[in-house]
Amino acid sequence: QSALTQPASVSGSPGQSITISCTGTSSDVGGYNYVSWYQQHPGKAPKLMIYDVSNRPSGVSNRFSGSKSGNTASLTISGLQAEDEADYYCSSYTSSSTLLVFGGGTKLTVL
Amino acid sequence: QVQLQESGPGLVKPSETLSLTCTVSGGSISSYYWSWIRQPPGKGLEWIGYIYYSGSTNYNPSLKSRVTISVDTSKNQFSLKLSSVTAADTAVYYCARTRGGPIFGVVTAVDYWGQGTLVTVSS
């Protein structure tokens, strides 16, 4: 069982917006602004999409945005494109001895 | 552009030690945390541990008794050893560069990943 909770799957049509949630506790998501999001295509390494809750690395499309409210962080993808179909993982620093925890992953299907 | 490349055996026998090395190119190993992360087939990501370039380490408590991460700054490499492996340790193992926060030991995000290497534990 993962430390952070994500929906197993979400779907949307091209051009639409979707949001993926990531729920933790006050020891991780709620306690620190160190939530990150990763995109993983089949057979590939994860790619950093969002760090520190809402910051985009250079080269990541501005269609990807992140936010946080309480113990839940969210990744929103606007203007869905076929290439966005992938697995998405959230992660957070945690004050527990584990230090870095991941969500179980969400499979995004572009209909 | 920083690049990371894992190397090591793809098959390890049960009860033996898994050993992997990560070679960093395109940048110095200094001033960052360097992590190992694994992903069992069809499952999610699990952080194994990190080493700071100075040699300071931190491990996932669930693996701590079996894990050793070391660094060789002269070769721009860091390594993973996982002892007493079982079939449950079969996974794709990634080496990765990890950002640090303003307080030492706080790791915030993984910004560069190796391509990953599948390690199968089987006799």
Rounded average pLDDT over A51-62: 96
Split at pLDDT 50, 70, 90, the class of B83 is very high
Per-residue pLDDT tens digits for B17-29? 999 999 999 998 9
- Tell me the count of A-B CB pairs closer than 8 A: 65
Q: Which of A23, A56, A58, A18 is nearest to A37 (CA)?
A: A56
pLDDT of residue A54: 97
**Position A38 pLDDT exceeds 80:** yes
pLDDT of residue A98: 75
Chain A residues with CB within 8 Å of chain B CB = 2, 34, 36, 38, 44-48, 51-52, 57, 89, 91, 93, 97-105
pLDDT of residue A56: 98
Token pair listed for A70: 């309480």
The minimum CA-CA distance between A33 and chain B, rounded to whole Å, is 9
Helix ranges, B1-123 (H) = none
**Position B105 pLDDT exceeds 90:** no
For an interface test with A, the pick among B3, B38, B110, B118 (most A C-beta atoms closer than 10 Å) comes out as B110
**Position B101 pLDDT exceeds 90:** no
pLDDT of residue A1: 63
Exposure string over B22-47, b if 16+ CB within 10 A, otherwise e: bbbeeeebeebbbbbbbbeeeebbbb
Residue of B nearest to A56 (CA): B111
pLDDT of residue B30: 87
Q: Which residue has the higher pLDDT, A47 or A1?
A: A47
Over pLDDT 70: what percentage of chain A?
A: 98
Residue of B nearest to A49 (CA): B111
Per-residue pLDDT tens digits for B62-80? 999 999 999 999 999 999 9
Strand segments (E) across B1-123: 3-7, 11-12, 18-25, 33-39, 46-52, 57-59, 67-72, 77-82, 91-100, 107-113, 117-121
B107 near A CB under 8 A = yes
Interface touch B47/A89, C-beta < 8 Å: no
B84 near A CB under 8 A = no
Interface touch B110/A93, C-beta < 8 Å: no
pLDDT of residue B75: 93
For an interface test with B, the pick among A41, A52, A60, A99 (most B C-beta atoms closer than 10 Å) comes out as A99
Say which of A45, A101, A103 has its CB closest to residue B113: A45
Per-residue pLDDT tens digits for A62-103? 999 999 999 999 999 999 999 999 999 999 999 887 788 999
Interface touch B44/A97, C-beta < 8 Å: no
